Amino acid sequence: MSRQFRPGAGAPALDAAYAHTITQWLAAAALLASPMLCYAANLNFLKDTPVTYMREADRKALNDAAQKALDTKKDGESYEWSNAGTGNSVSIKGTVTPRDTTKDGDRTCRTATLTAVAKGQTQTWTPIVCKTGNGPWKILKQ
């Protein structure tokens, strides 16, 4: 005579323990999966924006343009940049416009409006950047 397992029949303590264990595993799996799903969902808004097409050489071109604009342009004057010559098949171009310059001793801070345009999409960033003396401009950590 063979015995078949039937949930709910037989040992109620075993069924309750089994259900509790399964519930714990499902809760743990949901907790582990939810940040990954949220992370993926939250980054979906970046799809097809210029930053998704940028490679290391493109980011370097933008950084070089930002350093030059911040060193040479007056508040409100724009400096144009592009990723021409970086090897990226996607053309990315934009502007860097410094504004709101403040000085405190040998430290200078500015707000920089950086734009990037790729495949008809425009993306804009407005970090506050500072430099001390002749050093490089760095994003102000808040």
Q: At 39, give phi and psi (nearest 5°).
A: -60, -45
Q: Which residues contact 58 (CB under 8 A, 6 or more apart)?
A: 83, 86, 88, 92
Q: What is the pLDDT of residue 67?
A: 93
Q: Residue 82 belongs to what H/E stretch?
A: strand 79-82
Q: Which residues contact 132 (CB under 8 A, 6 or more apart)?
A: 106, 107, 108
- How sure is the predictor about 10, in pLDDT bands with cuts at 50, 70 and 90? low
Cβ atoms of 130 and 142 within 8 Å: the answer is no
Q: What is the pLDDT of residue 49?
A: 75
Locate all alpha helices (DSSP H) within the chain, ordered by sequence: 12-43, 50-53, 56-72
Cβ atoms of 53 and 118 within 8 Å: the answer is yes
CA–CA gap between residue 40 and residue 5 (Å, rounded): 40
The pTM for the full model equals 0.65
Instruction: Report the relative pairing of strands 128-132 and 79-82 from DSSP bridges.
Output: unpaired
- How sure is the predictor about 51, in pLDDT bands with cuts at 50, 70 and 90? confident
pLDDT in tens, 87-127: 989 888 999 999 999 999 999 999 999 999 999 889 898 99
Higher pLDDT, 42 or 18: 42
Q: Which residues contact 107 (CB under 8 A, 6 or more apart)?
A: 130, 131, 132
